[in-house]
Chain A
Amino acid sequence: DGGITQSPKYLFRKEGQNVTLSCEQNLNHDAMYWYRQDPGQGLRLIYYSQIVNDFQKGDIAEGYSVSREKKESFPLTVTSAQKNPTAFYLCASSRTSGGHNNEQFFGPGTRLTVL
């Protein structure tokens, strides 16, 4: 089955810790995205990658970092610099970025809670 997997489903972090959220896709998509979802605020883009070894900041990149060493993987690290990291994190991918082929498909999400 083709799709996007995210792990873990739930993650708890102590203040001052870095944590890494995993996102893997087997759809052979070039582009991958990370969003944050908070109640009442909708989805906000953190980072996106159009191709391996390249990525761009989204609207709320501060306190986050990413890497794109493989086409199928786009991990997100939430650093201690992110002051309010408790949220639902969603990963997505699309066949290409931009233009008419950027229909996005989403993973099941990771809920991060800071203790």
Chain B
Amino acid sequence: KQEVTQIPAALSVPEGENLVLNCSFTDSAIYNLQWFRQDPGKGLTSLLLIQSSQREQTSGRLNASLDKSSGRSTLYIAASQPGDSATYLCAVGNSGYSTLTFGKGTMLLVSP
């Protein structure tokens, strides 16, 4: 059964820092990997989707990479801002199934 782990569970940084969030998964037979953002009490917002054939995807200050063979993905946030404060969730789309397996998330706090 696929398991997804996100490290660290929480992260606090000053504004302007570049940071990396980590996601690892146990079964490399995946279709894709999706990064989400969740604000307190809200639904999930899709940030980036990486297909299994891709190595990375970029959107603005966000860059996500995927290394299927090692079962890892990273989300890089450049020049962090207080508005980036949220919980970031990683989810893996499993080959042969139509569902996602989620990690428990990294809670990010960016202080002014």
Chain A interface (Cβ < 8 Å from any Cβ of B): 4, 6, 31, 33, 40-43, 45, 48, 50, 58, 88, 90, 92, 97-100, 102-109, 111
Q: Rank and list the top 5 A-B pairs by shortest CB-CB distance, nearest first.
A: A97-B98, A98-B98, A106-B44, A42-B104, A106-B43
CA distance A105 to B31 in the complex (A): 17
Let me know if A104 and B45 touch, CB within 8 A: no
Residue of A nearest to B45 (CB): A106
Tell me which residues from 31 to 51 in chain B have a Cβ below 8 Å from any Cβ of chain A: 31-32, 34, 36, 41-46, 49, 51
Residues of A within 8 A of B44 (CB): 90, 92, 106
Cross-chain pairs A/B with CB under 8 angstroms, 9 sampled: A4-B43, A6-B43, A42-B102, A42-B103, A88-B41, A106-B36, A106-B45, A106-B46, A109-B43
Residues of A within 8 A of B45 (CB): 106
Tell me which residues from 82 to 112 in chain B have a Cβ below 8 Å from any Cβ of chain A: 89, 91, 93, 96-100, 102-105
CA distance A82 to B98 in the complex (A): 25
Given the known inter-chain contacts A98-B31, A99-B31, A102-B31, please indicate yes or no for A48 contacting B43, CB distance below 8 A: no
For the side of the interface on B, what is the size category? 20 to 34
Residues of B within 8 A of A106 (CB): 36, 43-46
Residue of B nearest to A108 (CB): B43
Residue of B nearest to A102 (CB): B93
**Nearest-CB distance from A69 to chain B (Å)?**
20
Residue of B nearest to A88 (CB): B41
**Nearest-CB distance from A56 to chain B (Å)?**
8
**Nearest-CB distance from B71 to chain A (Å)?**
18
**Nearest-CB distance from B69 to chain A (Å)?**
19
Given the known inter-chain contacts A42-B105, A99-B31, please indicate yes or no for A104 contacting B100, CB distance below 8 A: yes
CA distance A92 to B34 in the complex (A): 14
Let me know if A48 and B99 touch, CB within 8 A: yes
**Nearest-CB distance from A65 to chain B (Å)?**
18
CA distance A4 to B45 in the complex (A): 12
Of B91, B98, B103, the contact of A31 (CB 8 Å cutoff): B98
